[in-house]
Amino acid sequence: MANFLINRTLKSIPNLNLITTALSSRTRQFTSAAAAAEQPQSDGGESSSSFAFSSDAQDSIHIKPSSSVSKRETASSSVTMPMSFMTGSVVGKRFYNQVTTRKADDGNGWSVMLDYRTLKTPSKRPLKLPTLGLAKAIAAEWEYQETDGIRPFTMPLMKLACTALERVPITRHKVIEYLINRFNQDLVFCRAPDDNELTSDIHERQVEKIDPLLDWLESEFGFKPVIYSSFFGGKQEDGLLKAVETLLKKTDECELAAIDAIAGAAHSLTIALGLFRGKLQIEEAIELIRLEEDFQVDKWGLVEGGHDVDIADLKVQIASAAVFLGLSRRI
């Protein structure tokens, strides 16, 4: 579902050839229902009503009238969503008819409108997105929700946007520190032994597929990465660690959120940086992540309901983060 929404969204957004090429194997026509036209305002005189999240434990959607206007006029002036939205539960029923996009009230960024309500972050701040393309993509996720319930797990771009706007600004230092600490155990640095008949074949595949990425990493940062065969990892040169850390510190909130999401799904900051810098396309990244597991699948067969589900989940995680990264950039 998430891949379907992402791919259809890309078709409605111009100047995104790089992303649409990466997703060409699964591209479908997308016509976003989001439009830039502003919905009529309520009689209360406010520029827009607001849609937000609540820390309430219950999984219902509450409509809270404003105290400054009569109950009849503001029966749906604001909507509060339970925090279970961020955990993957099915939340309430669809309570809106039309989803549109509009310029933010302060002119800085773009907003998503559910009917006449402005979509907000979990802390009830306006969800101001850096580009119209990203706003339309998130609007499409809301538009394609079913009437019987809102399913957050089909809205990866919305969750990434909330992470970028809410969590990254206050945890930026910790996010970068965690990524650097895990860099020594990066997936692409671990190499199967070549002197064992059980692992020699996978070693050859790793050399063929991963070495070009390692060569790129060396040319990009000026330090040759250390390859190891231990499950406990190795130790990269301090110069390489410092160079990567410097790059991460220069990223904006959306970029860092996407890099962190990709690195977490891939168990590899190198693959995340490859996508970030344009060295890798989405399918290439997924192939590298699944290199060893696909080798075993080729040898022993695929377990239905196991391997296929893992593959689909990985594709959603990597593709959604890569698309979020591309859409958040001002061209």
Q: Supply angle C-alpha 263, 183, 273, rounded to 5.
A: 45
CB 63 within 8 A of CB 119: no
Report the pLDDT value the prediction gives residue 24, as an integer from 0 to 100. 38
Average pLDDT over residues 44-51: 40
Instruction: Give the residues across from 129 on adjacent strands.
Output: 110
Given a cut of 70, whether residue 121 has pLDDT beyond it is yes
Please state, for a pLDDT cut of 70, what percent of the chain lies above it.
Answer: 73
Average pLDDT, rounded, for the chain = 80
For the stretch 146-174, pLDDT in tens is 998 899 889 999 999 999 999 999 999 99
Confidence of residue 8 (pLDDT cuts 50, 70, 90): low
Pairwise CA distance, residues 127 & 105, whole Å: 11
Residue 300 or residue 52, greater confidence? 300
Full-model pTM? 0.75
For the stretch 66-100, pLDDT in tens is 344 344 344 343 444 555 555 567 888 898 999 99
Average pLDDT over residues 293-320: 91
Given a cut of 70, whether residue 45 has pLDDT beyond it is no
Q: Supply angle C-alpha 236, 243, 185, rounded to 5.
A: 30
Pairwise CA distance, residues 303 & 183, whole Å: 31
Lowest-confidence segment of 107-111, 124-128, 266-270 by average pLDDT: 124-128
Report the pLDDT value the prediction gives residue 59, as an integer from 0 to 100. 46
Average pLDDT over residues 124-146: 94
Which of 5-19, 20-34, 61-75, 306-320 is the most confident on average?
A: 306-320
Q: Which contacts of 298-306 are long-range, i.e. CB under 8 A and separated by 24 or more positions?
A: none
Report the pLDDT value the prediction gives residue 248, as an integer from 0 to 100. 98
Given a cut of 60, whether residue 318 has pLDDT beyond it is yes
What does 230-293 look like in DSSP terms, one character per residue? -TT-----HHHHHHHHHHHHT--HHHHHHHHHHHHHHT-HHHHHHHHTTSS-HHHHHHHHTHHH
Confidence of residue 262 (pLDDT cuts 50, 70, 90): very high
Given a cut of 90, whether residue 31 has pLDDT beyond it is no
Confidence of residue 52 (pLDDT cuts 50, 70, 90): very low
Given a cut of 50, whether residue 65 has pLDDT beyond it is no
Pairwise CA distance, residues 207 & 191, whole Å: 9
Average pLDDT over residues 310-321: 96
Average pLDDT over residues 301-309: 88
For the stretch 188-238, pLDDT in tens is 999 998 888 888 899 999 999 999 999 999 999 999 999 998 767 789 999
Report the pLDDT value the prediction gives residue 126, as an integer from 0 to 100. 85
Report the pLDDT value the prediction gives residue 284, as an integer from 0 to 100. 97
